[in-house]
Amino acid sequence: MTDQLLYATETALNGLMTGVMYSLVALGFVLIYKSSGVFNYAQGVLALFAALTLVGIQKGQVPFAHLINAMTGGHLESFPWQVPALLAILLTAGVMVIMAIIIEKLVLKHLVNQAPIILFMATIGLAYFLEGFGDVMWGADIKTLDVGLPQGINETIETVTGDLFGYGFFIDNLDLVATLVAVLLVTALTIFSQYSKQGRALRAVADDHQAALSVGISLRFIWILVWSIAGFVALVAGIMWGSKSGVQFSLSLIALKALPVLMLGGFTSIPGAIVGGLIIGMGEKLFEFWIGPLIGGATENWFAYVLALIFLVFRPQGLFGEKIIERV
């Protein structure tokens, strides 16, 4: 193989891995959209909040330290303990569940039967609120997240491909772990929704709210459940992205990267989120690799959107989305 082709292959592989990371965020969107018809813009901020909380618990930070200091003039910093990673993750998952309950009680309950745009705007408001809340609670400085995931370049792959092609592929260990986690997560979600009682209820709600209500499924419980699962998915995404690039405000912007993934895959399809993520991840890396240098680089910001836009013109419901049927 020529060098150019080898580079391209490496870029494509890395793109696929990035795509998996996008899919992790997109999954949370799909879950909520499918079951409640809410287009949850706050998913990215949920991931940021989860990551912030995880770091905060792990390092034993005092919540609201800044605010308390500002109000009382004290100098609170952190508790004198560190929490082991696994326990911290469990605690954070607990926080996300509480969050889901609060969101349902304070926001969603009151917005039943409103137009989708209103619900969408409410989640943007929620995103603003959570962003400020996370910052006030844990401080806005950039934090490093370390839960013991392997970092750096995978040397085995580098030597093996080096022997085979005379050129070692650089693949991040973390990306490999992310891929593995994504596979596990999707498998777990599929098993949950296909074989458990709650999962069946969830699918029923997704299919038809009123029919589900009439056979005795509690909508509110399902919504809490879905938001909890979405919170958990956000936590996983937050751990992966946080380990990769640090926990900071820009983490919430990955939600914007997940949107074209959703468009491409269809808002209602879990496989769509995965396949869409892979296509977008690979597409944008290859585009940047080949076309990027010709037109000034940094094309990753918009390529995904334009690709999704062009794609949608030909297939308005996305790759795997349900066919949009309009009746007068």
| Interacting residue ranges for other proteins, rule: CB under 8 A | 39, 66-67, 70-71, 106-107, 110-111, 114-118, 120-122, 124-133, 135-136, 140, 256, 259-260, 262-263, 267, 295-299, 301-302, 305-306, 308-309, 312-313, 316-318, 324, 326, 328
* Amino acid at residue number 139: G
Residue whose CB is less far from other proteins, 191 or 306: 306
Residue whose CB is less far from other proteins, 73 or 148: 73
Taking the complex as a whole, the smallest distance from the CB of residue 163 to other proteins amounts, in Å, to 40
Residue whose CB is less far from other proteins, 55 or 181: 55
Contact criterion met (CB below 8 Å) for 114 and 37: no
Residue whose CB is less far from other proteins, 167 or 305: 305
- Whole-number Å distance between alpha carbons of 195 and 189: 10
Residue whose CB is less far from other proteins, 168 or 318: 318
Taking the complex as a whole, the smallest distance from the CB of residue 42 to other proteins amounts, in Å, to 9
Residue-wise DSSP of 169-218: ---BHHHHHHHHHHHHHHHHHHHHHHHSHHHHHHHHHHH-HHHHHHTT--
Taking the complex as a whole, the smallest distance from the CB of residue 52 to other proteins amounts, in Å, to 12
Tokens of 146: 């370390």
Tell me how many degrees the CA angle 165-287-306 measures, rounded to the nearest 5: 150
- Whole-number Å distance between alpha carbons of 316 and 269: 14
Candidates 277, 225, 255, 268; CA nearest to 127 is 255
Tokens of 137: 């609670």
Beta bridge partners of 172: 153
Taking the complex as a whole, the smallest distance from the CB of residue 328 to other proteins amounts, in Å, to 5
Taking the complex as a whole, the smallest distance from the CB of residue 263 to other proteins amounts, in Å, to 5
- Whole-number Å distance between alpha carbons of 267 and 270: 8
Residue whose CB is less far from other proteins, 122 or 278: 122
Residue whose CB is less far from other proteins, 135 or 172: 135
Tokens of 37: 């018809």
Residue whose CB is less far from other proteins, 215 or 328: 328
Neighbours of 232 (CB within 10 A): 21
Using only C-alpha atoms, the chain has a radius of gyration, in whole angstroms, of 21
Tokens of 230: 């979405």
Taking the complex as a whole, the smallest distance from the CB of residue 29 to other proteins amounts, in Å, to 10
- Whole-number Å distance between alpha carbons of 141 and 299: 28
Taking the complex as a whole, the smallest distance from the CB of residue 73 to other proteins amounts, in Å, to 10
Helical pair 3-36 and 43-59, crossing angle rounded to 10 deg:
100
Residue whose CB is less far from other proteins, 158 or 300: 300
Taking the complex as a whole, the smallest distance from the CB of residue 195 to other proteins amounts, in Å, to 30
Q: At which residue do the structure tokens 């962003």 appear?
A: 131
The residue count of the chain comes to 328
Taking the complex as a whole, the smallest distance from the CB of residue 214 to other proteins amounts, in Å, to 26
Beta bridge partners of 61: 78
